[in-house]
A and B are shown apart, each in its own frame.
Chain A
Amino acid sequence: MNEFTKMILAFPALALLLSTPAWGEGEPGHVDEGDGHDEHEAVQLTDAELEEFGIEVIPAKAGTIEQYVSLPGEVRPNADRLAHIVPRYSGIVTEVLANIGDHVKRGQALAVIESDESLAPFEMKTMIGGTVIAKHIALGETVSREKDAFIIADLSAVWIELTVYQRDLDRVRVGQKAKIFVGHRLEEESGIVDYITPVVDEVTRTATARVVLRNREGRWRPGMFVTGKVLVDKIDVPLVVPRTALHSVEEQTVVFIETDEGFMPRQVETGRMGDTNVEILSGLSAGTRYVSSGGFTIKAELGKESFGEGHGH
């Protein structure tokens, strides 16, 4: 009966065949990341690969940080060079000599009015030279001293009134440089913040910063909406990197530096953040070669082990 037991064994052997646990498709060579959170392996790339993937490596050096605050605003006539023209006496308009948009010289007659009291005609004159921007007067109309007949503005310079929100109030100062953009393919212009309202508006809760712009060609028309970028800070710092060099790896900010073993993430402490550059406070020393752009590829290579989830291997 020895054979019989063997035979009995044969079928379990078959059962074994059908169910060998080693059939699981575990990959023997699979790398277990473990908890190597701090121990990053270096990423090695050949020069050809750097070129292929567009990775740029430069030495760390000093630079400037330019910080801008971006503010909405609008073009206004220069209030210092604005004249509201009213008749000296009330009366009937007998002649209108100026029209909206006309350029007028100082002392030029704008209209002729027949006084109600003297019934004598007199000329209404402008006290500044500029452009007629408003006209509330028509032939035969009765005009009075209470109502502006003309508004004359000197548009050779205009005011850009920028809206300053509360959070930016302590950063925007008089004397700072500002770039004014209009969009619509119009060129930008630079000016200086020369005044900030001491109180904030009760409705909008904003203050107004003023930039005076020269307006020779009349490109800046009052009423236009603009965006002003005020350079609130410009500091020379010993170490800067472009913003494109910073990456976040495991919730830490890092820069990829070049070492003998390859590229490694180096945790850095950032200081002031500029438009294009970022100040580095620690973690990087001058002269260290680091990846200024294209670092995403390296970041991805470092995190590679973890993205195979979801789909089969």
Chain B
Amino acid sequence: MIHRLIEISLRNRLLMIVLALILMGSGYYTYTRLPVDAFPDVSPNLVQIFTLTEGLAPEEIEKFVTYPVEAAMTGLPGVEKIRSISNFGLSVVNVYFEDKMDIYFARQLVGERLQEAREQIPEGFGEPMMGPISTGMGLVLFYYLEDTTGEYSLEELRTIQDWLVKFHLQTVPGVTEVLGIGGFEKQFQVVIHPEELIRFGVTLSEVVDRIRDNNLSVGAQFIEKNSEEFVVRSVGLATSMDDLRSIVIKTDDGRPLFLNDVADIQLGGAVRRGIQTRNGVGEVVSGMVIKLFGTNSSTVIAGVEARLEEINRILPPGVRVVPYYEQKSLVEAAVRTVTSALVQGIVLVTLVLLVFMGGFRPSLVVAVAIPFSVLFAFLLMGYFRISANLMSLGGLAIAIGMMVDGTIVIVENIDRMLREAGPRESRLVVVTRACHEVGRPILFAISIIIIVFLPLFTLQGVEGKTFRPLAYTVAFAMFGSLIFALMLAPMLGHMVMRPPKTGGKEAWIVRALLKPYRPVVTFFVHHRWVAVGLAAVLLLAGALVFPRLGSEFTPKLREGTIVVRLTMAPSISLEESKRTTLIVERRLRRISEVREVVTRIGRGEVGAHSDPINSAEIYVLLKPKEEWREAGSQEEIEDVIREELGNVPGVLVNLTQPIEMTVDELLEGVRAELAIKLFGDDLDVLRREADNVASVIRRIRGAADVQVDQVSGAPQLLVRIDRGAIARYGINVSDVQEVVRAAVGGVVAGEIFEGIRRFDILVRYEPEARNTADAIRHVLINAPGHVKVPLDELASVEEIIGPRQITREDNQRFITIQCNVVDRDIGSFVEEAQAAIGEEAALPPGYLVKWGGQFRLQQEANKRLTVVVPATLLVIFLLLFSSFQSLQNSLLILLNIPLALVGGIAALWITGQNLSVPASVGFIALFGIALENGMVLVMYLNQLLREGVPVDEASVRGALLRMRPVLMTATTTALGLIPLLVAQGTGSEVQRPLATVVVGGLFTSTLLTLLVIPAVYKWFAHAPAQEKSTRTA
């Protein structure tokens, strides 16, 4: 088959060139259309449902809002799990779908069921709605409004944001949502004086009704007049504060009682659960742009920036929109890191080719393999919808050296054959023969490289999403290189390459290397045990170094923007939260590298964040790197920040990064190894039992960092109605509740329109009448017979500590006990813990324990790998076997793997890096290359043997002859990775361990391929008798 393929391509040369050009052209076209991201998007496939119910406590939110939504979502196809958080005033239900589900289909399913949920949620408890069609990487640009005149109030600025900036930004293609935060949302406030209500004998609900009754417009069809139609409009909307003031509440004796008589009408800011501060000075108004799922970050941001310029022109003088964070520079930096590595790699590889091949023509043929493979990979990326990002482009950068390997072998063989061929032989025949000889091995070698990457595809979760694009692009590029090597290289070789005029002389570097190599390899072949000893020593060294390596999961990707995350006490008030944040901001401003700090506290418009007000995220914007004092990297500047901040009393400080933070929030997984989830109904029982379980776990050997989720800590003022008391006065519960809700919390009584801008009318008691516990106790309630009763005659008003939030999973409340395990195997720990909990912490009926955490993920990963790794191994072995038809040969080639491993480990150790997922990916790539090298050598040794050369001589001769291709493939691969090894740009920290392992491993593996394999070849070679029979067969 391979022979036919080669022949076809050699026969239809023009067609092949045209096809190749078309392929490359469309590859380039796809590349220009590829969505570009900074990193692979690791956010889970989920649909978020937000329900905003101002003023409702977590318990009520859970009961009236979260539960109906959750219940409606169960049983949808493809749902993995449902998790919910009921916070003060906000319910968030996360519906996690399987990764393969189409997000639009998932949203459609959720949307249908949401209708059911709406019917279940009581009137006035909020409308559930889906979050933006986006992912954790969707927050592409943040901005704030700068007011240079100082004349605009926070309300005015917020109105500009909500009705001008947001309005114009929302129409930029690729923007799915613009959310505002900070300042005050303008509101028409009706501030009720309760004593006036009593004096005039009106109730709060009457006031609310009157406002509603006096604020509406209607349409009344049309009238005909002289054959013309006149549409009838009756306009009765209140448009100003004066309209509101003159609403008549009631008329006594012909004397109207105006709203103005019982209340003050004023403009004010709505109640808010989030603010935005800047530079330790004060509040600003701000907004964030969320891009649509699957769109190209760079183009969306460019579009937004262009629109911002237009918006700045139409804003009132003195007001300006200032973006303070955008993902574009990150995307550009990440792409720049890999593309520059790519370009440098190509240059280096071409140089190596020139040096080793000793001729321009063959080098040209090989070099063309790189653009062809890369463009071919782009084509497939477009087809499989893989975005261009750090990892996928990184895969190409890794593969650069490997892309040329197949072609090198072909070209090298053609080169050699042409040199040896007689002058009368047709070039076409020579080239065909050369290609036939190596076609099959190339197919096998490249297949093996692709197959070694198989285990990577089984990685799950974040690691899977991070590294799978890399595995894909490597596979694509290798596939491309295979096509090139088998179908284009022979043809190009025929067209370009010429037999050397000077006869078969090797390039000078090859000759220089062969001189010392010859005696060494001869020595090893004659003293095989020395070679075995050398290999054993190296393996031993590797085994010794291995345990010394530190380990980490994945090195942190540096996003280039630092976020200081503050977590304050759960009971904190917004004012105190702001005060504390401003103090921290001022401390940050003392750092000379810091240009500006902008902070979000709590949440703004619903859709992106659900943080409570005790959480603040400070974006630290740095001056250009040239102006930094001493710090040279993001890590160093983080250290400076930590040092300068010191311990902030009452505040937990974490340094993180924008994307990392958002993704973490969406994943909401437990980071500890072991998570014991206790499910049940009663929060108090849950907490008690969780403490119990925790104390049992603490006593078990190996337990460390045992922590129980803090679920309570939010003080509440609980109004508990005394049914006996209200019965005595003849009052209904609802009478009391209505007054409490409207008087203390406020009630929206319609909207005021200013053009299309609409603002709420909020009716609420004056602050003095509601803002202390005592004042609330004294709120008067109407009883029959013109009796006024203060609230605390009818109800107990007490201060309690309530839950700060209620989390649910699978329709049940739960609490998590986290734990790490040290110095012992986690499986036995879990067993012992389960037994101990069964004995000592008997749970009440209806309560159950589930075991999870990272250990479960690892167990699953292990289970998968115990199948996948042997399977991969088997496939490789079969490939080798079918290629060599020899068990011994195949084993000899596999021998390369441990030898390669040693170098990788040593390289990690020397450079002080840890074992990590990217390092493992490096090992995987390394195995493929090592196998390939082994194949090249063993194949030739076999050939010599077949020609009847004695084993010892064949070993030496084969090694000498094959040194060039082995060294070439190894050097090109290693040099192709050097740029990644030394890169300092964004994202280089993830690629570096990978490159380190491959380069280090290639060093030992090549050394040993060239020294040990020829030495031990004898033991693995076919017996001549067998050889004969195979040949005749």
Contact = CB atoms under 8 A, between A and B. Distances in A.
Is the pairing of A and B real? yes
A89 interface: no
B553 interface: yes
Interface in A94-128: none
Interface string B881-910: 000000000010011011001000000000
A23 B924 contact: no
B649 A298 contact: yes
Given A15-B866, A21-B673, A3 B891 contact: yes
A58 interface: no
A11 B869 contact: yes
B920 A18 contact: yes
B86 to A, nearest CB: 13
A183 B579 CA distance: 31
Interface stretch (B563-571, B625-633, B977-985): B563-571
B671 A312 contact: yes
Contacts of B704: 26, 32
B651 interface: yes
Given A225-B199, A312-B671, A165 B652 contact: no
Contact of B710 (A10, A13, A21, A307): A307
A302 B401 CA distance: 57
B550 to A, nearest CB: 8
Contacts of B869: 11-12, 14-15
Interface in A105-163: none
A301 interface: yes
Contacts of A70: 774, 778
B898 A7 contact: yes
A18 B861 contact: yes
A224 B793 CA distance: 23
Contact of B780 (A33, A43, A53, A72): A72
Given A10-B901, A24-B671, A307-B569, A225 B198 contact: yes
B919 A17 contact: yes
Given A183-B193, A296-B650, A297-B649, A23 B455 contact: no
Interface string B800-827: 0100010100000000000011000010
Nearest to A70: B778
B868 to A, nearest CB: 9
A19 B695 CA distance: 29
Interface string B600-629: 000000000000001100000000000000
A18 B922 CA distance: 12
B699 to A, nearest CB: 12
B275 interface: no
A300 B649 contact: yes
Interface in A17-73: 17-27, 30, 32-35, 43, 45, 49, 52-54, 70, 72
B367 to A, nearest CB: 33
Contact of B695 (A24, A35, A45): A35
Contacts of A223: 199
- The listed residue with most A CB atoms (<10 A of its CB), out of B614, B649, B895, is B649
B923 interface: yes
Interface string A243-281: 000001001000000000000000000000000000000
A101 B791 CA distance: 37
B243 interface: no
Contacts of B649: 43, 45, 49, 53, 297-298, 300-301
Interface in A207-250: 223-227, 248
Contacts of B614: 307
A313 B654 contact: yes
Contacts of A204: 787
B561 interface: no
Interface in B676-707: 695, 698, 704-707
Contacts of B778: 70, 72, 227
A303 interface: yes
A20 B793 CA distance: 64
A26 B826 CA distance: 14
Interface string B168-202: 00000000000000000000000001010011000
B785 A13 contact: no
A19 B858 contact: yes
A7 B897 contact: yes
Contacts of A296: 569, 572, 576, 650
A198 interface: no
Given A21-B826, A23-B553, A304 B652 contact: yes
Nearest to B877: A7
- The listed residue with most B CB atoms (<10 A of its CB), out of A3, A20, A72, is A3
Contact of B901 (A13, A225, A301, A310): A13
A298 B650 contact: yes
A308 B567 contact: yes
Interface string B635-655: 000000000000001111010
A11 B768 CA distance: 73
Contacts of B707: 32-33, 309
Nearest to A299: B569
B854 interface: yes
A225 B195 contact: yes
A21 B898 CA distance: 23
Interface in B1012-1031: 1016
B195 A183 contact: yes
A18 B455 contact: yes
B994 interface: no
B650 A24 contact: no
Nearest to B868: A15
Interface string B850-876: 000011001001100110011011000
Given A15-B862, A165-B790, A183-B193, A311 B665 contact: yes
Nearest to B573: A296
A174 interface: no
Given A11-B873, A24-B671, A19 B923 contact: no
B11 interface: no
Interface string B687-731: 000000001001000001111011001000000000000001000
Nearest to B778: A70
Nearest to B825: A21
B185 to A, nearest CB: 26
A23 B898 contact: no
A7 B664 CA distance: 39
A203 interface: yes
A52 B583 contact: yes
B551 interface: yes
A165 B917 contact: no
B897 A10 contact: yes
A311 B664 contact: yes
Given A26-B673, A251-B801, A203 B569 contact: no
Given A32-B705, A204-B787, A306-B713, 18 more contacts: A10-B897, A11-B869, A11-B872, A11-B873, A17-B919, A18-B917, A19-B858, A21-B826, A23-B858, A227-B778, A296-B569, A298-B650, A304-B650, A308-B652, A309-B709, A310-B668, A311-B665, A312-B661
17 contacts: A3-B891, A3-B895, A7-B894, A13-B546, A14-B920, A14-B927, A17-B920, A20-B551, A26-B673, A53-B580, A72-B788, A165-B793, A303-B569, A303-B713, A304-B569, A306-B713, A307-B713
Interface of A: 1, 3-4, 6-7, 9-15, 17-27, 30, 32-35, 43, 45, 49, 52-54, 70, 72, 165, 167, 183-184, 203-205, 223-227, 248, 251, 296-301, 303-304, 306-313
Q: Which 5 A-B pairs rank lowest in CB-CB distance, beginning with the nearest?
A: A300-B650, A300-B569, A312-B664, A23-B553, A225-B195
